[in-house]
């Protein structure tokens, strides 16, 4: 199974065009949040319509899952907490997204939302517990924010990570967590695109300008992960007990 991880595309249409072009090379495309951009001159309503069209193209090419990020929130849910309302249309069209999951062979992919309050947090905790009860040989999470303390959340000045996800990783021990949100880690000394936390690999491709997004290609059959960016390519073996030392700096 070959997975392509991208995140934080922030309505960069040339990067989305690239993802559509390469999608047939992969068994699963993962967009780990922040498809929209709250700083854009284009309204979020218009952005969401365009992104939904891209998701339809990716769905036609094969499997795609998309999680929400903080830029993707467009209004309150029934409980009054902010959520990515527009993703309901993707869900209705058959794209696995927030709160859902996808089974591909012996791999379960759990797609977690960007939660905005205690009810959203509780829902995500229940989602993880539910999927843990039906865990197959391999379990992958998609969640926008890396765990606090991991080099995958290092900005170059501080660790900017999620304080809750680390505890959930310790409890459930998924095989892989695919994240984003923090743009800088792979490009900074002491930062990283990959981290091993116990039995779990955490990945964050980071964000770069230009027509090709920074991305991570995982080949679960070969047991490899490769980060590709303007800095070149770095690769690791999923069987390793820790991420390799980085030499690019």
Q: Look up the CATH number of the domain holding residue 105.
A: 3.60.21.10
Q: Is the residue at 183 inside a domain? A: yes
Statement: residue 247 has pLDDT above 80: no
Q: Is the residue at 140 inside a domain? A: yes
Q: How confident is the model at residue 249 (pLDDT cuts 50, 70, 90)?
A: low
Rounded-to-integer distance, Cα 7 and Cα 31, Å: 5
List, for residues 20-74, the tens digit of each pLDDT value. Answer: 999 999 999 999 999 999 999 999 999 999 999 999 999 999 999 999 999 999 9
Q: Is the residue at 41 inside a domain? A: yes
Q: What pTM was estimated for this model as a whole?
A: 0.98
Residue 216 has phi, psi (to 5 degrees) of -125, 130
- pLDDT above 90 as % of the chain: 97
Q: Is the residue at 243 inside a domain? A: no
Q: Is the residue at 74 inside a domain? A: yes
Question: Measured on CA atoms in the order 219, 32, 15, 247, is the torsion positive or negative?
Answer: negative
Q: Is the residue at 141 inside a domain? A: yes
Structure tokens that stand for 166 in this block: 């680390």
Show Cβ contacts of residue 163 under 8 Å, excluding neighbours closer than 6 positions: 148
Domain that holds residue 38: 2-237
Largest CA distance in the chain: 49
Structure tokens that stand for 147 in this block: 């765990």
Q: Is the residue at 247 inside a domain? A: no
Q: How many domains does the chain have?
A: 1
Q: Is the residue at 191 inside a domain? A: yes
What integer pLDDT is reported at residue 40 of this predicted model? 97
């Amino acid at each position: 199974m070959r997975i392509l991880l991208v995140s934080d595309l922030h309505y960069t249409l040339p990067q989305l065009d690239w993802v559509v072009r390469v999608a047939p090379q992969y068994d699963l495309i993962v967009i780990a949040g922040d498809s929209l951009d709250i700083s854009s001159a284009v309204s979020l309503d218009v952005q969401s319509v365009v992104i939904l069209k891209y998701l339809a193209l990716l769905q036609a090419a094969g499997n795609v899952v998309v999680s929400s990020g903080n830029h993707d929130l467009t209004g309150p849910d029934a409980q009054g907490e902010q959520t990515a309302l527009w993703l309901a249309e993707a869900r209705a069209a058959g794209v696995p997204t927030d709160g859902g999951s996808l089974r591909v062979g012996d791999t379960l992919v759990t797609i977690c939302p960007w939660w905005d309050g205690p009810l959203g947090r509780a829902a995500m905790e229940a989602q993880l517990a539910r999927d843990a009860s039906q865990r197959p040989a391999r379990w992958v999470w998609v969640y926008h924010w890396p765990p606090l303390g991991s080099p995958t959340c290092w900005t170059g000045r501080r660790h900017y990570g999620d304080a809750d996800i680390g505890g959930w990783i310790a409890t459930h021990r998924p095989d892989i967590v695919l994240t984003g949100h923090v743009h800088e880690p792979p490009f900074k000394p002491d930062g990283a695109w990959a981290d091993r936390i116990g039995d779990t690999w955490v990945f964050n491709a980071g964000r770069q300008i230009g027509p090709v997004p920074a991305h991570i290609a995982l080949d679960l059959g070969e047991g490899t992960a490769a980060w590709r960016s303007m800095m070149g390519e770095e690769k690791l073996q999923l069987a390793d007990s820790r991420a390799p030392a980085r030499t690019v700096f």
